[in-house]
Amino acid sequence: MTQFTYTAMTEAGERVSGAIEAESEAAVMRTLEDKRLFPVTVLGGATADGAKPARRRVKSSDLGTLYGQLADLLGSGVPLLRALDSLIRSTPAVGLRELLKEIRASVSEGKTFTDSLRPYPEIFPTLHIAMIQAGERAAFLEDVLRNLAGFLERYEELRSKVMGALIYPALLTALGSLVMVGALVFFVPRFEPLLAAAKKPLPTEILFAASKLVRGYWWLLLIGGTGAGFLLWLNLQTEAARRKLEGWQLKIPVVGNALRLLAITRFCRILGTMLANGVPLLTALKIAQNATGSTILAERIAEATESVRDGKRLSEPLAKGGFFPDQILAMIAVAEESNKLDKVLVQISDTVERRTNRSVDQAVRLIEPLILCMVAAGIGFLALGLLLPIFTMASSLGSK
């Protein structure tokens, strides 16, 4: 027997965690379903002999390609087992190929495709499982897989764009930091003997003190920085701290708007895609609540879930707090009245994604000059601290 730790959602939308001893992750999934819990993550612990079960990771891009290829094979009339055999032969990644073999073996034993995916929550998240289950039950698995492939492709494009936009500012920050530390360690000490007898202005005193601190107590600074980072990380594990941090981030000009639009895009895309593929609204809202990456938006979604359960509209609780723009709220309200919520949500995500791209570009254009100014200010302070006493000495000699 292996001990598994799990995180799941209750029907009321609350997150619960615990541990279960079972023979496999599939058995854990069945136990959680019997308790009317929606699994989010299931992680295996040590087995009876102390060995740790293997953990595998699959890139989102590879998973999207897998979904797309499987959809094409099923659309061509190839049975599921033969389609999996074909994917096993054509998949170059060893880890993904072994995973497909295990899934194929499970399907050949008579399990559904959905049940065969459940033991791998770190690869197939709850969002994917819910959509695939709905598609398998309603006999449109091919369409669901194609939609998932498109969803992952757009998600990767947006993520790559954001990460790519942040590379240059990150390089500038790293380079500026290295230049300053290198100057304090190797360059500034050479001026200390030359200026020992001179009257040093405040910038020079600060510069020499900083140089001595970095050279003499670098280990203490390293330990202190690591400890502060760990304490910050530990604090951010709490819901209240994450919410407060996100509140500050959303107040940053341009950057806050980009973060808000990213969360809205993800929510609309996830909810619209699930509704379009037959996932019930309440189930879709529970899954979307933990997939937006926004604590504040998750609170709005939790309220919306309760509102929908009471027979009210989705748009009313989403309007609280000012997270959603009025235009998007109006579109959601009209979509609810016309019973086209799934299509409108996907359209909203497409529109907001374009706005997000523009907001990300604006944020990067704002961040780059700020970082350049900070680097220039640091180098300027360095030059000022070294040159001021030299100019003072030269001035004194000239007056004599």
Q: Please, which pLDDT band fits residue 274 given cuts at 50, 70 and 90?
A: confident
Q: What average pLDDT is seen over the chain?
A: 82
For residue 228, pLDDT over 50 is answered with: yes
Q: Say what the pLDDT of residue 166 is.
A: 77
For residue 373, pLDDT over 70 is answered with: yes
Query: Residues 6 or more apart from 25 whose CB is under 8 A from it?
Result: 4, 42, 44, 118, 119, 120, 121
Q: The domain at 165-400 falls in which architecture?
A: Up-down Bundle (1.20)
Q: Say what the pLDDT of residue 69 is.
A: 94
For residue 79, pLDDT over 60 is answered with: yes
Q: How far apart are CA 265 and CA 345, in angstroms?
A: 9
DSSP 299-365: HHHHHHHHHHHTT--SHHHHTGGG-S-HHHHHHHHHHHHHT-HHHHHHHHHHHHHHHHHHHHHHHHH
Cβ count within 10 A of residue 175? 12
59-72 pLDDT per residue, tens = 888 899 999 999 99
Q: Say what the pLDDT of residue 379 is.
A: 87
For residue 269, pLDDT over 80 is answered with: yes
Q: Say what the pLDDT of residue 23 is.
A: 67
Q: Please, which pLDDT band fits residue 138 given cuts at 50, 70 and 90?
A: confident
Q: How far apart are CA 327 and CA 347, in angstroms?
A: 13
Cα Rg of the chain, angstroms: 28
H or E stretch including 36? none
Q: Say what the pLDDT of residue 55 is.
A: 52
Which of the two residues, 246 and 112, has the higher pLDDT score?
A: 112
Alpha helices in 185-325 (DSSP H): 202-216, 218-235, 239-250, 255-276, 281-289, 295-309, 315-318
- 85 three-state secondary structure: helix
283-328 pLDDT per residue, tens = 888 888 877 778 888 888 888 888 888 888 888 888 877 888 888 8
Q: Please, which pLDDT band fits residue 85 given cuts at 50, 70 and 90?
A: very high
pTM, rounded to two decimals: 0.63
Under 8 Å between Cβ of 130 and 9:
no
> Crossing angle of helices 281-289/126-137, nearest 10°?
160
230-241 pLDDT per residue, tens = 988 887 777 778
Q: Which fold has domain 60-153?
A: Receptor-associated Protein (1.20.81)
- 116 three-state secondary structure: helix
pLDDT above 70 as % of the chain: 92
